[in-house]
Structure 1
Amino acid sequence: MTKPVGKEYPDVPYFIHHLSKNGGRILEAMVGTGRLLVPLLEAGLQVEGIDASPHMLAACKQNCAARGLDPVLYQGSIENLNVPGKFSAIVVTLGSFMLLGSRTAAIAALQAFARHLEPNGQIFVDLELPVGSFKTEHTVKQREPIKCLDNSMIVMQTSSWIDWMEQIEHTLIRYEKWKDGKLVDTELQHLPLHWFGREEFMMCLREYGYTNIALCANYTDGLEPGSYSDQLCFSATLA
């Protein structure tokens, strides 16, 4: 509901531009509901998707079917990526790579990508720096309520704390679902996000077999990152 398919997103034209030049099979890792996959398919690209969540994949299949699309989708984790064949490009967008939650998992994913790329295949990974949470650690924040299709409302409260040594932002999210003025359900979620510094991630890419590393900000080629709030958009080629 918060990232509907068909809305304008800055990463969509960026990836259509770069992947159209690439050609061949493309894998969107952590595909989610198909927010990026759908416009890539509609642009004529040969894209497949993988996600660890069966609920996300069900939503992705539904969104694709509604548009007459029937892509190849896999269920599995990207740190243990094991799908048939190899790809000319692998994409992880909108900071989803940080959801792996630890340095060990992130490195395993980079190594798995290398095993599944064709010679001179590319990866595209973008990252964020959770500096906003650095400044508001242990503060309870109220998010904008979300209206559901059944006319209920989901109210969200978050509180974060930082593991500085492991570079992990831990967030506890409390969801409350309200309908007709009554609380009908609650849920707690622990969400760890692992971050990299700019030079640190480039060093990891080089160490695990990638070259021709490029970086731009906010899905804008040629724009150098200049603020902690910028999206760091990395691309690299398998050596």
Structure 2
Amino acid sequence: MRPAGRSAAARTAGGGTPVTISQEMHALGWNYGPLSTEVYNLDKPIGHSFGDVEYYRRQLGGIEGSVLEPAVGTGRVLVPLLESGLRVEGCDTSADMLALCRAECASRDLAPVLHHADMADFLRPGAYSAVIIPAGSIVLLDGREATARALANFHQNLEPGGCLLIDVPAPDMATDAAPMRYWRRDDYVWTLQTLRVEYDRATNQRTEWLRYDKWHDGALVGSELQLFRLQLWSIAEFRQLLVDAGFTDVTVTADYGDAAPGPSSDNWTFRALRH
């Protein structure tokens, strides 16, 4: 539904040309800063699982070589995999996420190799037996070009016979804002508000404006604005991207089980090999 007056997807910059939310992504970005990293860790602490931690532990069982987890974040998945005896490295664009990941690892006497790098550009040819991307982080890459570049690099980073495992969320075009959420610890409260959601039919992208606030004794002590642009994919589209990147034996399962995706599936996991 379009409100009276100008489009709900635009604002006027300096009283002049309307600017869409999508155009402002370049100014704000989706990277995790200090406050959004804190909230992520409060909401999804180390070991918190959507079924993915157990799934990846099963899938990687028996692998003796190194595993790469791009978009490693705080180590939510990485730490349990390390504790199960796997050799896992991580990379992430967020210095704040990596700092927290290192601290969580150090508190458990773990010392994985962590790279401050963009998964679309990170390249270590033939260095890994497996590459994994849980939790749908691949959809944070902006558009087909960046996604194709990342997949091509994953292919190069794998040794012959290596395995790629990627979670892709089922498309969600809804533009309803989620209710405010909050977390308490000691005298602090953190709040997360979804200010606006926009869906672009032309690019098949969903953009969320997220506001993080931190409060102490009722006073605001910190705030961050984060924009998430989620690139949505169909199963056929993403399968073709994998094939174009050189992968073979592509299979898809749903919701961290063995069944094929169905109409009510929330998450698709693609498995593909480098020959």
Return the TM-score normalized by structure 2: 0.80
Question: Within the alignment, does 1:230 sit opposite 2:266 as a pair?
Answer: yes
Question: Within the alignment, does 1:44 sit opposite 2:85 as a pair?
Answer: yes
Question: Within the alignment, does 1:177 sit opposite 2:177 as a pair?
Answer: no
Q: Which residue of 2 aligns with 1:195?
A: 232
- In the TM superposition, what are the counterparts of 1:128-207 in structure 2 within 5 Å? 128-131=169-172, 134-135=173-174, 137=175, 139-148=176-185, 150-207=187-244
Shift in alpha-carbon separation, 1:146–1:101, aligned structure 2, 3 A:
farther
Equivalent AA in structure 1 for residue 262 of structure 2: G
Contact 2:253 2:260 survives alignment (8 Å): yes
Contact 1:147 1:154 survives alignment (8 Å): no
Equivalent AA in structure 1 for residue 251 of structure 2: A
What SS does structure 1 have at the residue aligned with 2:170?
A: coil
1 CA distance for matches of 2:267 and 2:225?
A: 28
What SS does structure 1 have at the residue aligned with 2:61?
A: helix
Q: Which residue of 2 aligns with 1:25?
A: 66
Shift of 1:148: 4.4
What SS does structure 2 have at the residue aligned with 1:91?
A: strand
Shift in alpha-carbon separation, 1:185–1:107, aligned structure 2, 3 A:
same
What SS does structure 1 have at the residue aligned with 2:251?
A: strand
Contact 2:89 2:112 survives alignment (8 Å): yes
Aligned sequence identity (%) = 37
1 CA distance for matches of 2:44 and 2:240?
A: 32
Contact 1:218 1:231 survives alignment (8 Å): yes
Shift of 1:197: 0.3
Shift of 1:103: 1.4
Equivalent AA in structure 1 for residue 116 of structure 2: Q
Number of corresponding residues: 234
| Greater CA drift, 109-118 or 15-24 | 15-24
2 CA distance for matches of 1:84 and 1:202?
A: 22
1 CA distance for matches of 2:219 and 2:168?
A: 39
Cα deviation code 1:19-41 (max 9, x no counterpart): 11333111111111111111111
Equivalent AA in structure 2 for residue 10 of structure 1: G
Shift of 1:53: 1.0
Return the TM-score normalized by structure 1: 0.91
1 CA distance for matches of 2:118 and 2:186?
A: 30
Equivalent AA in structure 2 for residue 154 of structure 1: T
Q: Which runs of 5+ in 2 are unaligned?
A: 1-41
Cα deviation code 1:176-224 (max 9, x no counterpart): 3222223333322111111110011111111110011111111112x12
Shift of 1:8: 4.1
Contact 1:153 1:179 survives alignment (8 Å): no
Identify the match of residue 150 of structure 2 among 109, 118, 126.
109
Shift in alpha-carbon separation, 1:109–1:148, aligned structure 2, 3 A:
farther
Identify the match of residue 219 of structure 1 among 256, 262, 275.
256
Equivalent AA in structure 1 for residue 56 of structure 2: F
Contact 1:225 1:232 survives alignment (8 Å): yes
Contact 1:155 1:177 survives alignment (8 Å): no
Contact 2:89 2:114 survives alignment (8 Å): yes
The CA RMSD measured in Å over matched residues stands at: 1.8
2 CA distance for matches of 1:98 and 1:214?
A: 19
Q: Which residue of 2 aligns with 1:54?
A: 95
Q: Which runs of 5+ in 1 are unaligned?
A: none
Cα deviation code 1:22-69 (max 9, x no counterpart): 331111111111111111111111111111111111111111111111
Whichever of the two has the greater Rg, that structure is 2
